[in-house]
Structure 1
Amino acid sequence: MIRERTRASSKRVVAIIAASTVIIAACAAPTTTRVVEVTKEVVVTAAPGAGAIDPSAKFQLTYLNICFPSSMAVTDLMLAAFGAKYPNIDVKVDCAQGDYAEGIFAQAAAGNLPDVVFSADLFTVPFVNAGVLLDLEQFDKADESFSFDDIYPNILALGQVPGKPGTYMIPASWDSVQMYYNKDLFEKSGAPVPTDEWTWDDLITACKVVQEKNPGVYCVGNGGTEGWDWWAYFIPWIVGHGGYPVSEDFKTSTFSSPESLAGIQAYVDLWTKHKVTIPIGEQLPSGRDGCFIAGKCATYFMIPGLMKTFREKITDFTWDVVQMPALPKKRVTGMGTYGYGISKDSKNPQAAWELIKFLASPTGQRLSLTNYIGVPFLKSMADDPVYERLQPPPQNIKAFLKGGEIGIFPPNGYPPKCGSLYAGLINQTIRTALEESIRGVKTVEQAFKDADAEIQSCLDTAQ
C-alpha cells in the first residue's frame, strides 16, 4: 500500500533552499538556528543518459519514501535543490505503508518500480541480489561534478554487497550509534557527567548513583518491548570483548566462542546484575525515545537523526551527546544508515541521479547538519567551519563525527536461506537466545550454544 504525500509548491521549496544556504554561508554564527521542515542474483545495468538534462524539460519523476521525520526532512532538502535547478520537473513523492521490502519486490516483479526508492543497510543485499537497484558507480564515473571517493568508506559500504562490484545507495548521513544523555540528571544526582573517554564501567557506576537518587528513572534507555535485540547494540559488545559472531568465510557460527560469550554476558548483565536498563517487556507509552524526552531515561543510544526531535521536544533539561563508552578490548559501536537509490525500472535514471546526488554534495551535507538531521560523511568536511557555527544542543555534536570512525557493520555474508542479523532464522534465533538469557530461562552459555547449533545446522546445509 502506498500513501501519497502532498509535495510543497516549487516556490516554497526554492525559498527553503535559498534561506538555508544563506544561513550556512553566513560569516558569523546566527543567534538562533532555524530548523527547516522540509534469492536469485540479477545483474542490472542501465547506462546514464548522455549529456545534461534540459533545464526546461517537463516530465514527472516518481519517488518512494519511508516517511519518518528525518527522511522527510532530507527529502525536502533534495526536492528544494532539484526544484531550483529543474523547476519544470514534477517529483511525485509517495509514502510506503506496510512491509516495505515485500512491496518493493512486488513492484519489481510487475516492472513498475518508481524512479527513486528509499533503501537502507538492511535492504542492500536483498535488493541488489534481486536486481532492484541500479549500480550508481556508472553515474559517478560519468559525472565530473561528483565523486564517491570523498565519502568515508565505512558508510559508503552500507550501499555495497561484499564480493559484488558496485554501489547501490547514496547514504543520508554518517549514522553511528552514540550516547545521548540528560546532563541535568547526572549533575543533580551527584554523579559524574559522561565524557568521550568513558568506559562502560564508568557509565554503570554513574548509573547506579542516578537511579538511587531518582526512583522511577532508568539510566540506560534500552529494553522494554523493542530495540534490545538490535544488532547495533549487542554485536559491539561481542567485538568489544574480542569476539565475532561468525567466521570470516561464514561457514562457522561463533556466538559461543569464549570471547563472544564474554561480550554477551556483559551485555546481559546490564539487566540481570546491574539492573540499569528498562526491564524486558515493559510497555513504554511513548517508546524509548519518549522515555528520554520525558526525563525518565538518563541515556539513550541512537543515531544523529534524533537530534532534531530532541531539540524540538526537550525544553526542561540540558542534554548532550558523547561517544559510545569503551569496552575492554576496544571502543566500538554499531553503524547503519538509510539512503536512496535508482530502481531498475526508472524511466528517467539521469534525472533520478541528479536528484539523489545532492545528498552527497557539500551543500546537502551542510544543510543536513544545520537542520540537525544528520552528520556529514564527506572526508573533506571533517574540519568544516560549519561545526563552529552550530547552536547547541548538542554541544558535543562532533561525538558523532569521531564516533563514525569506530563504527562497525553487521556480518553481511550469510547464505540467504539462513537469513541475517536483520531477519530470518539467524535474527529469530539470536533474539530468542538473548531473551532467554535476560529472563534467566537459560544461562548465556547454554542459550548461545543452542543458538550456535541451530545456526550451524543451517550453514552446513547451505554450503
Structure 2
Amino acid sequence: MTKVKKNILFLSILLLISILTAIIKYNSWQAKHILTVGIYTGSPWDVPNNNQYRVFDYAIKEFKKKHPNVQIRYENGIQKSDYRNWLSEKMVQGKSPDLMIVPNNSFNLLASNGAFKDLSGLMSTNNVSTQSFYPVALKAGELKGKQYALPFQANPRFMVMNKDLLIKNKIFAPSFNWTPAELKRICRQLAITKYQGSKLGITSEYNCSDALMAYNYRLSKTKDNPIQLTTAAAIKGFNLIEYLRNIGQSKIANRDLFDQGKVAFTPISLAKYQTYTSYPYYVTNANNFTWNCLQMPHIKNAKATQVDISMFAISSKARNPKLAWQFLKTLCINKRVQEKAMEINKGCSVLPKVVLDKKVQQALSHNSQGSLTSTKLNAIMNNGYTEPKFRNFGEIYSVLDHSITKALDTNTLDDQIFYIQQQANTELKN
C-alpha cells in the first residue's frame, strides 16, 4: 500500500471516529435536554373541557424562557379513562415519563410502591416553602412524612343555595359559615310549608361522607381497626343524613329539581359550578332564581370540604430528574401558569396568592352573579380535609360508601354498621 493510500485510510478512519464521537456527544447532549411528561386530554374533573393542552403548552412556553434548549415531549390523545393503564404499561416497560400527572385515586398505591421520587430534599434546598400552598393541596401529595407529588389544581365542593326559594317561604337564610343544625332547621321548615306545593331541602348529592365530615369525623388512630363507624362523630353524621332523607325526601331530590327551583340546597364542585354558570351552558338552563355560595355545613373547627387535587410527580426512575423538578415548579408554583390553569381548566389554583388576586375576583364575579368571591373560595379551600393515606384507601372508600348507601336505602344501617366496619377494616389490611 502506497504512502498516499495509507494517509487517506488514516484520515478516513480519523474522520469516521470524529463523526461517531460527535454523534455520541450529540445524542448524550440531546438526552440531557429532553424531558418526557405523562398527561391526558380533557378535564381532571369530568366537565366539558378541550383545552387541557392549552394550559400545558403555556407552561412549556414559560419554562423555555429559562431553558430554551430543552425539548418537552408528551403523547397527544390519551384519554383520562385510559391514562392509568397507559402509565402502568410504561412503568412495566421501564419507560416511565420523567414527570407525570398522578392518576386519580392512585397516589397512595404508586407512592407506596416506590414509583415517585421523594421531593422533600429538593423543596428544602430550593427554598420551596410549604406555606405557598393550601395545606389540603400539599398534603394530598404527602405520604409518611415525605412529599412525593406537588399539587397542580384543586376542585373543592361547596353548597349552592336557592335564595329565592327561602325568601318566598319566609325562611331565614344561613350565613356563609353555617352548621348542620341550621341545615336541619331549614329542611324541616321547607318540609312543612305549603307555599306552592311541597318543597325539598337538599338534593341527594349531599352524601354520607359530607354528613360525617360536618361533625369532623376522622379515622381512628387504632392501627388494627382504623375505620370506626360508631364514634360520637360518626353517629351524629349518620343521624344527620337519615334525618334529611326522612324530613325532606332528599333521596329523590336530584340536580334537575334544583335547576327547576324546587330544592333549596345542593353541593357542587367548583369545576361544575363554573361550567354551570358560564356561557353557553348557563343560557341553556331554565333556572330563573338567585343563588348564593356557602361552605359545607360543619361544627366549629371541623374540616368539612372535600377537595379533589390534581398532582404531578417525578418518576423515581426519571432520566432527567433535575429538568423534571424545574418544570414541576413551573407547573405548580409559577403564578402566571397557575392563573392560566384556573382560567381554562375551571378548577382552583393551589396557591392562595393566586386565588386572592384581583384578576380571579373579577373572573368569578363575571361568571357567578357575584355570589362566589375569591374570599369565599379561599375560605372553602382552607376548610378542606385530606384523604387518609392508607395504601388502598380509595378502593375501600368506594366499597364503604356503596355499603352504607345501600343500608340507608333499606333502613338497615343500625343492624349492618358493625359488619360494614369489620369488612372495611379487613379489606384495608389486605
TM-score range, shorter chain: 0.7 to 0.9
Structure 1 unaligned regions, length at least 5: 1-53
Q: How far off is 1:118 after superposition? A: 2.4
What do residues 181-230 of structure 1 show as CA deviations (whole Å, max 9, x unaligned)?
Answer: 3334444454444421332332343345557546687542334xxx846x
Q: How many residues matched?
A: 380
2:235 matched to 1:261?
Answer: yes
Please report how far the alpha carbon of residue 236 of structure 1 lies from its aligned counterpart in structure 2 after TM superposition: 0.3
Alpha carbons 2:203, 2:250 under 8 Å: kept: yes
Deviation at 1:388, TM superposition (A): 4.7
Q: Does 1:246 align with 2:201?
A: no
TM-score of the superposed pair, with normalisation by structure 2 = 0.73
CA RMSD of aligned residues (A): 3.8
Aligned equivalent of 1:152: 134
Q: TM-score, normalised by structure 1?
A: 0.68
CA deviation string 1:315-337 (max 9, x = no partner): 45433311112348846333331
Please name the residue that 2:24 is paired with: none
2:119 aligned partner: 136
Task: State the shift of 1:277 in Å.
Answer: 1.8
* Alpha-carbon shift at residue 158 of structure 1 (Å): 0.2
Residue matched to 1:406: 383
Secondary structure of 2:203's counterpart equals strand
Q: Which amino acid letter does the alignment assign opposite residue 403 of structure 2? A: T
Change (3 A) 1:159 1:214: farther
**Maintained 8 Å contact 2:187/2:248:** no
What corresponds to 2:282 in structure 1? Answer: 314
Question: CA contact under 8 A between 1:176 and 1:407: conserved in structure 2?
Answer: yes
Structure 2, unmatched stretches of 5+, are 1-28
Q: Partner residue of 1:206?
A: 186
- Shift in Å, 1:102: 4.4
Deviations 1:390-446 (A, max 9, x none): 424143322221122222223323xx4xx42x214x542452133212331x1x332
Q: Secondary structure at the match of 2:277?
A: helix
Q: In structure 1, how many angstroms separate the alpha carbons of the residues matched to 2:48 and 2:320?
A: 26
Secondary structure of the structure 1 residue equivalent to 2:38 = strand
The AA in structure 2 aligned to 1:169 is L
Matching residue of 1:395:
371
Match of 2:417 among 448, 453, 456: 448
Structure 1 residues 201 and 369: alpha-carbon distance in aligned structure 2, compared to 1, 3 A threshold: same
What are the equivalent positions in structure 2 for 1:28-427 lying under 5 Å apart?
Answer: 59=34, 61-65=36-40, 67-68=42-43, 69=47, 73=51, 75-86=53-64, 89=71, 91-92=73-74, 93-98=76-81, 100-119=83-102, 122-141=105-124, 143=126, 146-161=128-143, 163-173=144-154, 175-207=155-187, 213=195, 218-223=200-205, 228=207, 231=209, 233-237=210-214, 239-240=215-216, 243-249=217-223, 251-271=225-245, 273-279=246-252, 288=255, 292=258, 295=261, 297-312=263-278, 313-315=281-283, 316-317=287-288, 318-327=290-299, 330=302, 332-357=304-329, 358-370=331-343, 373-380=346-353, 383-390=356-363, 391-392=365-366, 393=368, 394-397=370-373, 398-413=375-390, 416=391, 419-420=392-393, 422-424=394-396, 427=398
Letter of the structure 2 residue corresponding to residue 364 of structure 1: V
The residue type paired with residue 141 of structure 2 is G
- Tell me the secondary structure at the aligned position of residue 97 of structure 2: coil
Give identity over the alignment, percent. Answer: 14
Contact 1:308 1:371 in 2 (8 A): no
CA distance in 1, matches of 2:77, 2:315: 15
In structure 2, the CA distance between the partners of 1:256 and 1:203, relative to structure 1 (3 Å rule), is closer
